[in-house]
Structure 1
């Protein structure tokens, strides 16, 4: 029986591990994109030295791939367009109460509280004492929500006129920003250049990473 249970748990873990993850983002776009743009060359704005991290450079590579898909090409000399990007991740811890049921003794005045931190939920009614049976209680657990924001802009290199602005917002339990960022960048360019002053919800499937 024990071996059967271990096998079942292992099979379930493999099944869940192979499931794709849905990444949901709120995307807001503004654009004054010209009807004709013969020169699609671009270069990234040079960030301040303290912001020019390896992490930023890796995310710029994701933007390069999306721009190449749309027919843009990077130029080192005199580009027609300037591309800039900013991103942020904020960890927002939240105290969450989960209802549990603790075993009780005969006396209705006492409840076994267990080794975890619990909050007693009171009796079922002021006129009824559940001498036997579960007592409603709550486990307090801290959960983390990671609020991420990605901002991308494309401007004319000649006069600095903004042609395209997009803001992507995402909230998830995923701690690692590099895991989520490919989907955020892809969402930024979905339906490019998108509605002017419009917001959309974009959901993308992300296949699990293969180890090894």
Structure 2
């Protein structure tokens, strides 16, 4: 699955997320939801999990690249990977990433306002709609009087981690992670992307799933383990690693 195709799928999902009030790092959101797709030909053991980062020409002297590599190294260490000089590494790890801005338009219903002096209002606050026609007051139709289009900025953050055998150049693992929301900073989204991409490493070939990572009280990355949403789990082959835990 290419980043472009995944972006297209995510754009549709973003509409639902906006309607339900989801934002990547804001407000009362309690978790960040990331879409993950993995391709695997992994056969390595813990004893051979030595690696070095490989950089493109543009990444060679990049402080941003070093920052993301440090985050990835910390997460790889939880899966028994050890960073070593390139000459003695069994694997090379490449990071590629991007952020894309877009606008999403959502059509919102407009309801009749019985007290115009207080300004218009949208939706049905505090569950009043359950009474129907203003409940005990009755007599007014509570259906929408019209609709208005509201546009929101949205940012799609993407990360790809690619692992190859150093000696043969054979690709053994490639995983893509993408999430979206109102956060315009890639550096703030990166910890979620990396943890989601490497959760339950190695995933089976062709695995597509959604990973949820809790936020801590300060809005940072929570200490709880990432959780895979079982309803979105689709694997072309059985995963050799631990099975994801479905959300109840």
TM-score when normalising by structure 1: 0.68
Does the CA-based 8 Å contact 1:20-1:207 persist in structure 2? no
Q: Which consecutive unaligned segments of at least 5 residues does structure 2 have? A: 1-25, 120-139, 221-248
Partners of 1:77 and 1:57 in 2: CA distance: 16
Question: 3-state DSSP class of the match of 1:38?
Answer: helix
| Larger Rg over CA atoms | 1
Higher relative contact order (CA 8 A, sep 6+): 1
Does the CA-based 8 Å contact 2:33-2:212 persist in structure 1? yes
Q: Closer, same or farther in 2 for the Cα pair 1:25/1:58, shift >3 Å?
A: same
Partners of 2:105 and 2:64 in 1: CA distance: 30
The CA deviation at 1:180 is 1.9
Does 2:22 align with 1:31?
no
Q: Closer, same or farther in 2 for the Cα pair 1:136/1:189, shift >3 Å?
A: same
From 145, 153, 165, give the equivalent of 1:136: 145
Q: Which residue of 2 aligns with 1:88?
A: 98
Give the 5 Å matches for 1:60-209: 60-78=69-87, 79-101=89-111, 136-209=145-218
| TM-superposition CA deviations, 1:56-92 (whole Å, max 9, x none) | 2211111000111111111125111100011111111
Partners of 2:215 and 2:194 in 1: CA distance: 13
Q: Which residue of 2 aligns with 1:125?
A: none
Q: Which residue of 1 aligns with 2:63?
A: 54
Partners of 2:160 and 2:154 in 1: CA distance: 20
Q: Closer, same or farther in 2 for the Cα pair 1:150/1:210, shift >3 Å?
A: closer
Does the CA-based 8 Å contact 2:101-2:153 persist in structure 1? yes
Partners of 1:46 and 1:87 in 2: CA distance: 12
The CA deviation at 1:101 is 4.7
Partners of 1:30 and 1:140 in 2: CA distance: 39
The CA deviation at 1:53 is 3.1
Number of aligned pairs?
172
Does the CA-based 8 Å contact 2:51-2:86 persist in structure 1? no
Does the CA-based 8 Å contact 2:46-2:81 persist in structure 1? no
Question: 3-state DSSP class of the match of 2:85?
Answer: coil
Partners of 1:50 and 1:61 in 2: CA distance: 14
More strand by share: 1
Partners of 2:206 and 2:86 in 1: CA distance: 33
Question: 3-state DSSP class of the match of 1:60?
Answer: helix
TM-score when normalising by structure 2: 0.59
Does the CA-based 8 Å contact 2:105-2:151 persist in structure 1? yes
